[in-house]
């Protein structure tokens, strides 16, 4: 009978001498899927760790805020207190500036600051409310000291020179000696000062 011939190859070589077999498709897919799952699991774990760290940090900050609340409240109270003090100080300063000044006080302050070897001859007030003072002195330094003393008076806001001239000793007032003891006649300096006065008179 005409039968079909069948051939079958049997590898009789030992296992360590046989050529390596290639990986099957299903094995490759399983390895790839396993790798993807490992990567996703690692990323998810990192994300969870970050979220836990963020929650811990938020909890720590919230705790510190609770501790700092009394301090912050005290700071707010201090700021309000400082604002109140500044407001009252501004009111007092304005009252002091607007407080009327008496002529008697002005004349007394002008006289209290007069140094030795200086005398006043005239005291007037102009339309702007400034006081004009005229007088004489032994030397320029004495006039400068007088002007500096006037600038220290709280009621006087501005002291400026209106004139300064050297005069002959014979032009001195009668109650001022024209000669120094045992010496020749001494010349003197006449001066004029303009003084602004704080407040109304």
Q: Give tens-digit pLDDT for 144-196.
A: 999 999 998 888 888 888 888 887 766 555 445 444 444 444 678 899 999 88
DSSP for 87-133 reads HHHHHHHHHHHHS---HHHHHHHHHHT--TTEEEEEEEE-TTS-EEE
Phi-psi domain of 67 (left: phi exceeds 0; alpha: psi -120 through 50; beta: other): alpha
With 0.85 as the threshold, say if the pTM is over it.
no
Number of neighbours of residue 17 by Cβ within 10 angstroms:
7
- 90 DSSP β-pair partners: none
Report domain extents, the chain.
Answer: 24-98, 103-197
> In this structure, which topology does domain 103-197 adopt according to CATH?
Gyrase A; domain 2 (3.30.1360)
Mean pLDDT for the stretch of residues 24-32: 74
The rounded mean pLDDT for the chain is: 77
């Amino acid at each position: 009978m005409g039968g079909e011939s069948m051939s079958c190859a049997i590898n009789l070589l030992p296992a360590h001498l046989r050529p390596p077999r290639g990986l099957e498709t299903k094995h490759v897919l399983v390895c790839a899927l396993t790798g993807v799952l490992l990567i996703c699991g690692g990323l998810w774990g990192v994300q969870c760790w970050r979220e836990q760290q963020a929650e811990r940090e938020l909890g720590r900050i919230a705790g510190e805020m609770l501790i700092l609340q009394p301090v912050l409240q005290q700071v707010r109270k201090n700021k309000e207190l400082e604002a109140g003090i500044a407001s009252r100080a501004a009111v007092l300063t304005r009252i002091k500036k607007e407080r009327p000044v008496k002529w008697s006080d002005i004349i007394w302050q002008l006289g209290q600051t007069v140094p030795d070897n200086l005398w006043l001859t005239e005291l007037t007030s102009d339309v702007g409310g400034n006081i004009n003072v005229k007088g004489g002195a032994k030397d320029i330094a004495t006039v400068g000291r007088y002007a500096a003393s006037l600038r220290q008076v709280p009621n006087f806001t501005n002291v400026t020179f209106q004139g300064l001239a050297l005069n002959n000793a014979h032009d001195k007032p009668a109650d001022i000696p024209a000669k120094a003891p045992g010496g020749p006649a001494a010349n003197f300096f006449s001066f004029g000062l303009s003084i602004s006065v704080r407040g109304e008179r």
